[in-house]
Amino acid sequence: MLLDVERENRAILAKEAHLVADDAGFDCARQNVSVTQARPLPADLVTPCLVVDRDVLERNLVAMAARVRDRNVALRPHAKTHKTVEIARRQLALGAAGLTVATVGEAEVFVDAGFSDLFIAYPLWAAGERGRRLRALAERVALRVGADSNEGMELLARALVGTPAEVVVEVDSGHHRTGVQPERAGEVAVVAQRLGLPVAGVFTFPGHSYGPGQIRPAAADEGDALQRAATALRRAGVDAGLRSGGSTPTAALVEPAGLNEIRPGVYVFNDAQQVEIGSANWDSVALTAAATVVSRHGSSVVLDAGGKVLGADRAAWATGNGRLPDHPESRVTALSEHHATVAFPADAVLPELGSTVRVAPNHVCAAANLADVLVVIANGAVVDQWAVAARGRNA
Ligand SMILES: Cc1ncc(COP(=O)(O)O)c(C=O)c1O
C-alpha cells in the first residue's frame, strides 16, 4: 500500500517535470530554485496555524501602492483576501482610495471598524433582508454596488434609491463568469438611471489571468473590455467615469488607457498559485501555514495542516494542493481534513519528524477564511495576532 502511494507520488513529480518542459510560460523549474533562504519560524508555535511575515507583507503593500502611483490609477484593494482590519488600515494609510468587498457581511464588518468608502464588486441580489442591510450601509458610508442585469438593478433600486449609493455595471472581459458583454453596458446603465440610481461606471474581473501563460492576454482583454464598455456608456448618454479592473496577476501590467482603478486582493500575501503562474516568487509569499511533520514514510512526509487549514482549492493546472517554500522541489500530493501528504524526490533530504515547516496554500483567500486569527511574525518571533474579522461573512 505504502509502496503504491510512493509510486504515485513519484509519478506526479515526474509528470510535473514534463509539464515544465512543455510550457515555457509555466516556469515551475524556475520556481523550484528561486527561494533565496529559508525564513525561520518561531519555535513555540502551536500548529497548524496561519503565520504572516510582517516584513514581507509590508513589502507587498508598499510595492502595490508605488505601482498604482506610478501608473496614475486608483487602488481599491479587495479585502476578501485578508479580512483583517489591521491590513485594511495599512492599505488606506499607503494611499488606497477605499476597499473592495464581495458581500454585505464583509462590508458590515469594515464599516463597523470605521471604513467609510466601499465597493461591493459583485452583482448583488438585493432582495429582502439583504436589501435592508444594504440600505443601512448606504445611509452610513460611501457605497458602490455591482450589477449585471436589469432585474438586479430593480432590486438595487428598491433598496437604495434615496441614498447616495452608486451602481457599477459589471462587464465580462473573458473570464465568462458574471458581467454583460461590454457593448451592452450602456443599456444596463440607462435602466439604472431610469430607476433613479446614480451610475459610477463599469467594472470587470479578468479571472482568466489565472492559468499558465494567461496573464498578458487577460490584461489586454481587461483594458479593452473596459474601454469598450466606457464607450457604450457614452453612446447611451451616461456620463460616468469609473473603469475598475484588476486581479493580482494583471496588476503588474496595468495601463491607464484601459482603466483608472484596480482591485487586487491576493497581492498582500501571495500564494502557491501566484508563484506557479509567475506573478509572485517565494520571497513575496507573506502568509504560510505552519505545520508539524507528524509522519514520515519513504520519500513522503505527512503534515498536520490539511484541507481545514489550507483550503481545498486546486486549479486544473496546479502542480499540487499547496507548496513548501523552503522545499520547492516537493509537492503536496494529497489533502484530507487534518493531513497533507508531501512527496519529495527520491534523493531529497526530508524534514525531520516533529519539525515545523511552512506551507503556502494554493489560494490564500480560502485559507484565511478558515482561520480565526493570523499570527504575525518578524525576525523569527511572534510580534502580534490579528483577528480575521470578516471570516465567514459570506452573505
Ligand atoms: C470581482 C473581483 N475583483 C477583484 C478580485 C481580486 O483579484 P485577485 O484575487 O486576483 O487578487 C476578485 C477575486 O476573486 C474578484 O472576484
Any idea which architecture 9-53+271-387 has in CATH? Beta Barrel (2.40)
The secondary structure of 55-78 as a DSSP string is HHHHHHHHHHHHHHHHHT-EE--B
388 burial (CB, 10 Å; 0-12 / 13-18 / 19+) is: buried
pLDDT band at residue 37 under the 50/70/90 scheme: low
Top mutation candidate among 170, 175, 247 for ligand 1, by most atoms within 8 Å of CB: 247
CA of 247 to the centre of ligand 1 (A): 5
Q: Going by CA atoms, what residue is nearest to atom 16 of ligand 1?
A: 205
- pLDDT value of position 32: 47
Backbone angles phi, psi at 166, to 5 degrees: -115, 155
User: Is the per-residue pLDDT at 22 higher than 70?
Assistant: no
For the chain, give the percent of residues with pLDDT over 90. 89
Model confidence over 307-324: pLDDT tens digits? 999 999 999 999 999 999
Top mutation candidate among 67, 178, 205 for ligand 1, by most atoms within 8 Å of CB: 205
The secondary structure of 313-331 as a DSSP string is ---TT-SSS-B-TT-TT-E
What are the CA-CA distances from residue 309 to residues 31, 289, 352 (Å)? 24, 7, 21
Asked if residues 143 and 121 have their Cβ atoms less than 8 Å apart, the reply is no
Q: Residues of CATH 2.40.37.20 domain(s) within the chain?
A: 9-53+271-387
Which ligand 1 atom is at minimum distance from the Cα of 266? 11
Cis peptide before 48 (omega within 30 of 0): yes
- pLDDT value of position 2: 34
Model confidence over 327-377: pLDDT tens digits? 999 999 999 999 999 999 999 999 999 999 999 999 999 999 999 999 999
Cα angle: 235, vertex 237, 241; to 5 degrees: 90
- Note the pTM of the prediction, 2 decimals: 0.92
Assigned C-alpha cell, 189? 446603465
What is the three-state SS of 242-301? EEEECCHHHHCCCCCCCCCEECCCHHHCCCHHHHHCCCCCHHHCCEEEEEEEEEEECCEE
Asked if residues 23 and 213 have their Cβ atoms less than 8 Å apart, the reply is yes
Pairing between β-strand 49-53 and β-strand 287-297 as defined by DSSP bridges:
antiparallel
User: Is the per-residue pLDDT at 389 higher than 90?
Assistant: yes
Q: At what angle do helices 85-93 and 104-112 cross, to 10 degrees?
A: 70
User: Is the per-residue pLDDT at 277 higher than 50?
Assistant: yes
User: Is the per-residue pLDDT at 26 higher than 90?
Assistant: no
CA of 243 to the centre of ligand 1 (A): 15
| 3-state DSSP helix/strand/coil % of the chain, to nearest 5 | 35, 25, 40
Question: CB count, 10 Å around CB of 177?
Answer: 12
pLDDT band at residue 29 under the 50/70/90 scheme: very low
Q: Residues of CATH 3.20.20.10 domain(s) within the chain?
A: 55-266
pLDDT band at residue 40 under the 50/70/90 scheme: confident
What are the CA-CA distances from residue 374 to residues 182, 281, 318, 363 (Å)? 39, 21, 25, 16
Q: Is 274 in the pocket of ligand 1 (CB under 6 A)?
A: no
> Whats the size of the chain, residue-wise?
395
Higher pLDDT, 44 or 225: 225
Q: Which helix (H) or strand (E) holds 12?
A: helix 2-22
Model confidence over 73-106: pLDDT tens digits? 999 999 999 999 999 999 999 999 999 999 999 9
CATH class of the region 55-266: alpha beta
